[in-house]
């Protein structure tokens, strides 16, 4: 009985960790894309192509919203894990 | 439920730096996620800065500045001037009877002063042997990554005036 309880707790904890790791990996990808976007926008600005500044800022804002959402998701998961005593 | 109440009453440092080894991995991941989010915010601010610079540049008007009298410069000769401010050296070349071209004198590679070579008919940078087309400012050879910004000229009452800068001549 005790073993079963331990297994269930362990599996739940693993599920939380998988979810958090997934969010972290996605967050890292979004930040890398955003880094590329900033570099491309700066390069375009310096070479005089000013039309790309607005779409660059809009996409960068969307990516930031994505990373913020993932951060809130991770915090919520962590709070749930703490509440359940993992 | 009891645990949730406990975490609310815990001091902030305990929440940020968990002392329980079981929580440690989660907290570290959370901290890293926070770092990534702040990095993302920084880059978003960078993009907004570029956008504001673009808008600011569009709104600012270049002054009209007299460079020289049109007859003052012989064909194939060079006139150096500063535009739009005293800190911006420029070079003007008279290519034919009615044609004048002017560019920023700062090389787009490392800002060395470029000069007109009558021998090659090109604008050259002596620092790293870059060269630009006299007629368009495009890079012909060497390390410069972009064409030279072109100074927009106007001829009025026998005077040559600089009226703007065109850096979109790639």
Distance CA A40, CA B166 (A): 21
* pLDDT value at residue A59: 96
CA angle B33/B35/B39 to nearest 5° reads 115
CATH of the domain at B137: 2.102.10.10
Chain A residues with CB under 8 Å of B136 CB are none
Asked if B49 and B84 sit in the same domain, the reply is no
Residue B49 has pLDDT above 60, yes or no: yes
Chain A residues with CB under 8 Å of B41 CB are 64, 68
Asked if B44 and B73 sit in the same domain, the reply is no
Contact between A65 and A7 (Cβ < 8 Å): no
Looking at the structure of chain B, the number of domains it has is: 2
Contact criterion met (CB < 8 Å) for B41 and A56: no
Inter-CA distances, A59 with A10, A34, A41, A63, Å: 39, 8, 11, 6
Chain B residue with minimum CA distance to A79: B4
Contact criterion met (CB < 8 Å) for A85 and B47: no
Asked if B69 and B152 sit in the same domain, the reply is yes
Asked if B77 and B161 sit in the same domain, the reply is yes
Asked if B48 and B112 sit in the same domain, the reply is no
The beta-carbon neighbor of A64 closest among B29, B41, B146 is B41
Asked if B70 and B137 sit in the same domain, the reply is yes
| Maximum Cα interatomic distance, chain A, rounded to a whole number of Å | 70
ipTM: 0.85
Q: What is the pLDDT of residues B105-157, one digit of tens each?
A: 999 999 999 999 989 999 999 999 999 999 999 999 999 999 999 999 998 88
The residues spanned by each domain of chain A are: 2-83
Contact criterion met (CB < 8 Å) for B47 and A45: no
| Maximum Cα interatomic distance, chain B, rounded to a whole number of Å | 91
Average pLDDT over residues A56-67: 96
Q: Residue B147: which domain range?
A: 65-166
Asked if B77 and B153 sit in the same domain, the reply is yes
């Amino acid at each position: 009985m005790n073993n079963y309880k331990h297994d269930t707790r362990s599996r739940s904890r693993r599920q939380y960790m998988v979810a958090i790791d997934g969010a972290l990996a996605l967050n890292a990808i979004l930040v890398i894309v955003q880094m590329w976007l900033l570099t491309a926008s700066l390069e375009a600005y310096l070479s005089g192509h000013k039309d790309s500044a607005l779409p660059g800022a809009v996409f960068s804002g969307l990516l930031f919203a994505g990373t913020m959402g993932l951060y809130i998701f991770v915090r919520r998961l962590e709070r749930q894990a703490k509440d359940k005593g993992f | 439920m009891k645990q949730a109440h406990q975490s609310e009453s815990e001091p902030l440092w305990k929440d940020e730096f968990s002392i329980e080894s079981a929580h440690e991995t989660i907290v570290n991941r959370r901290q890293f996620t926070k770092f990534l989010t702040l990095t993302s915010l920084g880059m978003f601010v960078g993009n907004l800065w570029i956008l504001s610079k673009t808008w600011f540049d569009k709104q600012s008007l270049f002054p009209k500045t007299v460079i020289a009298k049109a007859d003052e410069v012989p064909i194939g000769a060079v006139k150096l001037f500063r535009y739009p401010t005293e800190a911006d050296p420029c070079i003007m070349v008279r290519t034919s009877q009615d044609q004048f071209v002017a560019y920023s004198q700062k090389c787009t590679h490392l800002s060395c002063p470029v000069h007109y070579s009558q021998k090659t008919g090109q604008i050259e940078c002596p620092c790293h042997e870059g060269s630009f087309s006299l007629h368009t400012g495009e890079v012909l050879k060497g390390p410069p990554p972009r064409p030279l910004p072109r100074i927009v000229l106007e001829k009025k009452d026998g005077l040559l005036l600089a009226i703007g800068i065109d850096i979109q001549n790639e």
